[in-house]
Each structure stands twice: as structure tokens, then as C-alpha cells.
Amino acid sequence: MAKAINLSLAGKVAVVTGGASGIGRASALRLAQAGATVLVLDIDADHGEQAAAEIRSQGGAAEFLACDVTSAEDCRRAAQFARERFGRVDVLFNNAGVIRRKSVVDLSEDEWDLVLGVGLKSVFLVSKHMLPLMAETGGGSVINAGSGWGLTGGPNAAAYCAAKGGVVNLTRAMAIDHGPQGIRVNCVCPGDTDTPMLRDEARQLGIAVDAFLAESAARPLPRLGQPSDIGDAVLFLASDLAQWVTGAILAVDGGGTAG
């Protein structure tokens, strides 16, 4: 008889950064639906509490902790909270990110620092403090949020492309370093996904939101991504179905980067 397919995360603890909205929120919900206890981290306390409450309302287990993922102290404190509250971390989704749609000429230094801090430095800081806890219990799965623009360039998004390109190669380096500890590290690269951040891009560029979303849907599978599309990929990478997958860069973009 064939081995049963196992997507269950029962008994496991998952940490999701940027979990208050968009892809982070959908992924936190998907991980909880698979049985994980989820710790939602976000700087947005109101929406973060709502995300955790949504999971609980559906019968899952979740808590929210306010966390500025660009702060070393906040990230240390989040790991300590996970240790004291749950005793383990099995899945980490480094999802937090922001975008400023500007070229290097138009970006301010503060904008560059913000985008690189939230999108790249946070992967370092959160992982630095969570991975030792993960290693103590025999390993686990780290999923880093890249982007299609971490694989190809994009217009008027210099800082974001730099951050996501960094995430892609940081993922490979982490996979090499932490594989011997039983920790798998992979990267999911979404295409344009219907989130508050995507809609904010339209406003930054001065383009009507409907027109911007329609243009963003032009790809071989001709629709916008939904946050749940990315959540499904995160669940796969977190699960035992991906137990020999590490250092992989998975584009989930409807074919947008296919050429």
C-alpha cells in the first residue's frame, strides 16, 4: 500500500512574521488549519490580534506578539517568548516586507534602510534567534519570502529588488549552514498577489488601482495571485512532503517569471 500523504503539522509550532495581513495572515491560517500552533509576529497590533483571533475562531491555536522585526531586541524577545510559551519552534516563515516604488536616484536613504531592514535584515535577525530553539528539538523548516523580483529585476523598485535578491541567496547560504542541524531552509517567491501592499503600490505610482491590478494579472495563468496560493506553497515547504527539499527557490507566480 502506498504511503499516506501527510500534510499534518499537529504538535508543531509555527512562527510567522508580518502575519497581520496579506500573505502572512493567509499563511498563518493555512499552517493552523494543518494543525500547527501559530505565533503571529507583526508591528501592527490591531490586525495582528485579529489574525490570531481568526485562527482561534476556526478552531486553531494562535497567539499574537507585537514585534518590530528590524529590532534585534524585539526579535530576541520573540524567541524567548516562543521558548517560554511553547518550548519549541518547528516552522518559521520570514514573511515581513515593505516596498517603495522608486529608483535609486529617487529613493531617500531612510526609504532604502526601511525596505532593506524589513525585507532582508529581519530574515537575519529573526532567524538568528529562532534557529537555535529549532535546532534544540531536532530541526525544522524555515521558509523565507522572496519575490519574482528577487529573481528578475523590476522597474522603480530598486530597494525591494535588492532586498528580495538578498533573501534568495541568503536562503541558499542558510540551507548549507543549517542542514546538518536538520533545518531545511527554502524560499517562496510570489508573483503579484492581491494584498494591501500590492494595492499600495498602485497609489505610490499614481495609477488607478483597478488598472494596476489588471496589468498585474497579465501572465501565463492570467489572474492575480491570492494570499492562499502562497499559503499553500508555504504549507508544502513546512510539511514532511518537502523533507528532502532545502535551498530551493520556488516561484509561485502564475508563470510570471517563465519568460
| pLDDT interval class at 3 (50, 70, 90) | low
Mean pLDDT of the chain: 97
| pLDDT interval class at 259 (50, 70, 90) | confident
Per-residue pLDDT tens for 127-155?
Answer: 999 999 999 999 999 999 999 999 999 99
Per-residue pLDDT tens for 29-51?
Answer: 999 999 999 999 999 999 999 99
- pLDDT at position 2 is 58
pTM metric for this prediction: 0.96
Q: Which alpha helices (H) appear in 190-250, and where do they start and end?
A: 196-205, 209-216, 227-238
Residue 1 pLDDT > 70: no
- Among the options 149, 160, 212, 236, which is catalytic? 160
- pLDDT at position 172 is 98
Question: How many Å apart are CA 249 and CA 172, to the nearest integer?
Answer: 9
The contacts of residue 57 (CB under 8 Å, 6+ apart) are none
Residue 191 pLDDT > 90: yes
Residue 16 pLDDT > 80: yes
Domains and CATH numbers, the chain: 13-191+223-247 (3.40.50.720)
State mean pLDDT over 93-102: 98
Is 160 assigned a catalytic role? yes
- pLDDT at position 6 is 76
- pLDDT at position 4 is 65
Per-residue pLDDT tens for 202-212?
Answer: 999 999 999 99
- Decide: 245 and 187 in contact? Cβ < 8 Å: no
Residue 115 pLDDT > 80: yes
Per-residue pLDDT tens for 160-186?
Answer: 999 999 999 999 999 999 999 999 999
Residue 226 pLDDT > 80: yes
Phi then psi dihedrals of residue 54, to 5 deg: -60, -45
Task: For the chain, report the end-to-end CA distance as a whole number of angstroms.
Answer: 41
